[in-house]
Structure formats: C-alpha cells, structure tokens
Amino acid sequence: MTLVNTSNPGRTISHFRLILWALIVLAVAIAGCSSGAEPTPYDRDDFTPVAGPPPFPMIFEGKFTVAGEPGPADQTIYAEFIHGGSPNSTTFEGEYVQVILGPVSIEDVEHGLVTFYLGTREGDHVKADQTWEWDQLSRPTNQVLDLSFARLPKD
C-alpha cells in the first residue's frame, strides 16, 4: 500500500516507511519531553503512560500569522499535550510544516487538547490563539490548521 505525498502528488510513500518514521519521531518527542522544561502548568512528574503500542501521531501544517501579518521564516514552532510534545520545527515565511505529535500518557488522551507555541521550551514562547482537540487515529494523519500568534518570542 502506498500513500500519495500531498506536497508532491507524483511521489508516493510506502505505508510501512511512513509508520516507522512516525514512530521514530514520536520516540524522539518523548525523549525530548524529559528535559525538565515546562511550557505548560501541568505536573509532568505525574505520568501514566498509554498502555500498548503508542497511538498514531498527527502531522500539523498550515499558515501562521504574527500580529495579523504573515509570520517570518526561521522561527521555532512546536506543539504540546500535557506530557507529549512535538520536536521543534522551523517555519517558512507565513507557513509551518511537520509539527508531529501524539499522546504519550493517559492524561494526554483524557485532556485531549493540543496547544501550539512559537519560541523554545527553555526560553520565551508565545501560545497560539488556536488549539486542536485530539481524537484517536487509526493511522498517521495530516491536518491543516492555520495558527495566529499575538507576537514573536523575545530572543
């Protein structure tokens, strides 16, 4: 089985490679969340992992604005649940791609809300006006979601 690459319709991706790649990214995201940085006010020490294989991730992309204008290129963007989070992604002018995450804890699944940030986990970060309500997936899924931010993070 193959999937059509939406950014390049002539190119296909094997289903197995896509799932394997998504699981590797999810494992990196889980490891990255253990750094001690806390972009959300939740207690990250109270962690009950999801039983069984990890849920399939969602891959976000879309346009983004800062104070009503197209966002600049080379900004760091990421998404968070309570315990699970995406690796950092770098923006293009007015666009972001490949913000990939899935829930890693029971609390992530129950809370079910994905929050997006510009900036870094360790430094200044700005929360997007939009959030995404998580729903269990049967396969890795691309989701287009336009985001708006009030300001750029301070350096």
| Residue 31 CB burial class (10 angstroms; 0-12, 13-18, ≥19) | exposed
Non-local CB neighbours of 152 within 8 Å, separated by 6+ positions:
66, 72, 75, 118, 126
Which residues on neighbouring strands pair with residue 99, listed in sequence order?
Answer: 60
pLDDT value at residue 2: 47
- Residue spans per domain, the chain: 2-149
Per-residue pLDDT, 1: 46
The whole-number pLDDT of residue 143 equals 94
Output DSSP code: residue 102.
-
pLDDT of residue 112: 86
The residues facing 25 across adjacent strands are none
Query: Given 2.60.120, 3.40.50, 2.60.130, 2.60.40, which CATH number is that of 2-149?
Result: 2.60.130
Q: Provide the whole-model pTM.
A: 0.71
pLDDT (tens, 9 = 90+) of the chain, 155 residues, equals: 444 555 555 555 565 565 665 666 555 555 554 444 444 445 556 778 888 888 889 999 999 999 999 999 999 999 999 888 999 999 999 999 999 999 988 889 888 899 999 999 999 999 999 999 988 777 888 999 999 999 999 97
